[in-house]
Amino acid sequence: GENVEQHPSTLSVQEGDSAVIKCTYSDSASNYFPWYKQELGKRPQLIIDIRSNVGEKKDQRIAVTLNKTAKHFSLHITETQPEDSAVYFCAASHNDMRFGAGTRLTVKP
Amino acid sequence: DAGVTQSPTHLIKTRGQQVTLRCSPISGHKSVSWYQQVLGQGPQFIFQYYEKEERGRGNFPDRFSARQFPNYSSELNVNALLLGDSALYLCASSVTPSNTGELFFGEGSRLTVL
């Protein structure tokens, strides 16, 4: 089955800096790559996703890039704010969705 | 419109007992997936059901089972509980059976096994 690896496990940045989280996947048939944000004690919520026929997607301060050849994709958050502090999960899906282990992002004011 | 609802929210069991967790998907969603989230880790896929049929199964022992009802609600059952089964169990619903669209998660059922 699909195996998704995510790095780093923790990330601390100053407010206003950029944050980058990287993931790799193993199943070349995976064609959907979402990113979820989970705040403490809350449910995971989708923040952005990308499909295999697209290389990059942006939504305001958030962007995701996908390299199908290398089987890796990344989340980029620019101009980080304290409310961006949370755990972020990448996922890859073909028939079922598999998640990475998560990255705890801390944005220091 | 109500989101995904799960019950119970918290429960405590002892080793060897059995537990049933319940999930109601968003109205109109026919796919339900179950995930186990151990503290500090990502959600691990357990099952997916679509139109009452099992569409996928993760790497979990046969002690884990699930079913989906005609109204698309679902139950996850775990038998012969072990300490390692302590986790947050998340239910997620989606429109498509192929899981290539947004998953909408419930708040989860936190299971503690003593």
Q: What residues form DSSP beta bridges with A105?
A: A11, A86
pLDDT, averaged per 10 consecutive residues of chain A (109 residues), comes to: 92 98 95 95 93 91 96 97 97 89 96
Would the pLDDT of B1 be above 70? no
How many CB atoms lie under 10 A from the CB of residue B40? 10
Chain-centroid distance of CA B92 in Å reads: 7
Among A43, A45, A96, beta carbon nearest to B99: A96
CA dihedral A38, A42, A48, A52 (to 10 degrees): 70
- What pLDDT, on a 0 to 100 scale, did the predictor assign at position A84? 97
- What pLDDT, on a 0 to 100 scale, did the predictor assign at position A41? 86
Would the pLDDT of B72 be above 70? yes
Contact A95 B101 (CB under 8 A): no
Q: Which residue has the tokens 């704010």?
A: A81
Contact B102 A34 (CB under 8 A): yes
Task: Share the mean pLDDT of chain B.
Answer: 94
Phi-psi region of A102 (alpha: psi -120 to 50; beta: other; left: phi over 0): left
- What pLDDT, on a 0 to 100 scale, did the predictor assign at position A53? 85
Contact A43 B98 (CB under 8 A): no
- What pLDDT, on a 0 to 100 scale, did the predictor assign at position A66? 96
The single-letter DSSP state of residue A40 is T
Would the pLDDT of B70 be above 90? yes
Task: For chains A and B, count residue pairs whose Cβ atoms are closer than 8 Å.
Answer: 58
Would the pLDDT of B54 be above 70? yes
Tell me the CA end-to-end span of chain A in Å, nearest whole number. Answer: 41
Percent above pLDDT 70 for chain B: 99
A49: phi then psi, degrees, rounded to nearest 5: -145, 165
Helix (H, G, I), strand (E, B) or coil at B83: helix
> Residue B111, CB half-sphere, CA atoms under 13 Å: how many?
30
CA dist B28 and A106 (Å) reads 37
Task: Share the mean pLDDT of chain A.
Answer: 94
Chain A residue with CA closest to B3: the answer is: A43
- What pLDDT, on a 0 to 100 scale, did the predictor assign at position B96? 81
CA dist B102 and B33 (Å) reads 12
Among A43, A45, A98, beta carbon nearest to B108: A43
Residues of A in contact with B102 (CB under 8 A): 34, 46, 49
